[in-house]
Amino acid sequence: MTPHFTMLGARISAGLLALSATQAGAQVQTPMSPAPTGAAPMAAPAAPATPNDYGRAENWLCRPGRLDACTTVDLATTVVAPDGATRTEPFVAAARPAYDCFYVYPTVSAQLTPNSDMQVTASERNVVTQQFARFGALCRTFAPMYRQVTLSALRTAMAGKPNPGDRELAYRDVRDAWRAYLAQDNHGRGVVLIGHSQGTGHLTRLIREEIDGKPIQRQIISAILAGGQVTVARGKDIGGDFKSMPLCRKAGQYGCVIAWNTFRAEIPPPADSRFGRTEAPDREVACVNPAALGGGDAELKALFPAGGNSGGVTRGPPDWTGKGLRLPTTFVSLPGLVHGECATTDGANYLKITLTPPETGSRARNFNGDIMIGPAVLKSWGLHMVDVNVVEGDLTALVDRQARSWLAQRD
């Protein structure tokens, strides 16, 4: 989680917060101010919350062998060629996956309390669809519910007040779910860790406290930590947050970390950017391009939500085909359009997104994903809303190759 917090306060509407925070909350926080001299004593702290029982199926969004958030949505993709022609690419779940994926979702809860309860809502199901369910083509899918810091708490923080959310409670739930997974389900299998924003914050801490340098590290195929502030020693691929888990830099490498924050090339991280910058003089924010681990520009296999992001604070969905067609699939792919390269601008490290529109044809020449106030783009957020979508096809291909290498060394 980032220590710095430069807010737009009252200029940001509740409507904006409800959507921009949908995949963001953990990166926004304010320090708790000390009580002034002579202030009335603080109330006694509330009794610790009862730990969740992650042996209970209802405390999981996704678990193998059942119909749930990972298995009840059609995950097919409409592929739109540069000339606007379309074809449907079906999704096929793995029949006998040989490894597991463990996912922690970003800030999505619209409940009005500082921390969510454990009720599964459309918010959690939708983000699983957009970010995680497609990994079911490769692995067994595990996604715990947790009592996350909510959008309501984020609104309070963004108004310049102390964030009332209990981040320790949220983290303890994630930790307890991980421990339960290891005890009940893992049985020596390899596992891929996947998170975004608040989820990345919790997984970063989980790796640091429960995995890094411990025997279980040998079972980590990779850690996908999107839209966070994962740091490494300056100029290095290790150090910073983790002592012994390096960044992934070559094909087939396993036991490593993939981390990035996305910004458009024409809107690089500003001085007050929420992502890509750290105040630690001996560290820098990690950037790994899932499509080009060793660096350089590469076409990205982006998978965007065909219906566009909901809530009205991003630009509306483009006319993907140039023919005004409403796509029947959950995802849309635009081959050749999106490219990415890790870049540094004024000390900020980020995945720079460029577009290569087709010279002919009427296919969409852009995508939505910028966070908006009216017609204005909130530059400090970058493309946080679609951090995962812009590389989703690359991530599944990369994880498949990493898992094959990991499984080979086990034989």
**Tens digits of residue pLDDT in 349-393:** 999 999 998 877 789 999 988 988 888 899 999 999 999 999 999
Please, what is the Cα angle at 291 between 244 and 298, to 5 degrees?
A: 135
Closest by CA to 265, choosing from 290, 297, 237, is 297
pLDDT band at residue 318 under the 50/70/90 scheme: confident
First to last CA, the chain: 38
Under 8 Å between Cβ of 325 and 48: no
Please, what is the Cα angle at 207 between 195 and 215, to 5 degrees?
A: 130
Label residue 65 exposed, middle or buried (CB < 10 Å: 0-12, 13-18, 19+). exposed
Mean pLDDT of 74-79: 97
pLDDT of 411 > 80? The answer is: no
The two structure tokens encoding residue 213 = 């340098």
Mean pLDDT of 116-145: 97
Q: Which residues pair with 264 in a beta bridge?
A: 353
pLDDT of 347 > 90? The answer is: yes
Amino acid letter for position 248: C
Question: What's the pLDDT score for residue 352?
Answer: 98
CA distance to 166, 230, 257, 382, per residue, from 239 (Å): 28, 10, 12, 26
Under 8 Å between Cβ of 193 and 220: yes
Cα 63 from Cα 144, distance rounded (Å): 8
Question: What's the pLDDT score for residue 40?
Answer: 37
Mean pLDDT of 11-30: 33
Q: Which residues pair with 333 in a beta bridge?
A: 79
Max Cα–Cα distance, the chain, nearest Å: 71
Q: Which residue has the tokens 């309390």?
A: 113
Question: What's the pLDDT score for residue 358?
Answer: 80
Q: Please, what is the average pLDDT of the chain?
A: 87
Cα 11 from Cα 23, distance rounded (Å): 20
Question: What's the pLDDT score for residue 47?
Answer: 60
Q: Mention every residue, 6+ apart, whose C-beta is less than 8 A from residue 8.
A: 158, 373, 378
Cα 304 from Cα 289, distance rounded (Å): 18
The whole-angstrom distance between residue 394's C-alpha and the CA centroid of its chain comes to 14
Q: Which residues pair with 78 in a beta bridge?
A: 88, 332
Question: What's the pLDDT score for residue 46?
Answer: 52
Label residue 267 exposed, middle or buried (CB < 10 Å: 0-12, 13-18, 19+). middle
Torsion sign (Cα): 334, 337, 343, 348 = negative
pLDDT of 76 > 60? The answer is: yes
Q: Which residues in 296-336 belong to E strands, given as ranges?
A: 298-299, 304-305, 331-333
Amino acid letter for position 45: P
DSSP code of 185?
A: I
Element (H, E) at 206: helix 198-206
Q: Mention every residue, 6+ apart, whose C-beta is less than 8 A from residue 130.
A: 305, 388, 389
pLDDT of 23 > 80? The answer is: no
pLDDT, one tens digit per residue, over 42-63 is: 334 456 789 999 999 999 999 9
Cα 391 from Cα 170, distance rounded (Å): 27
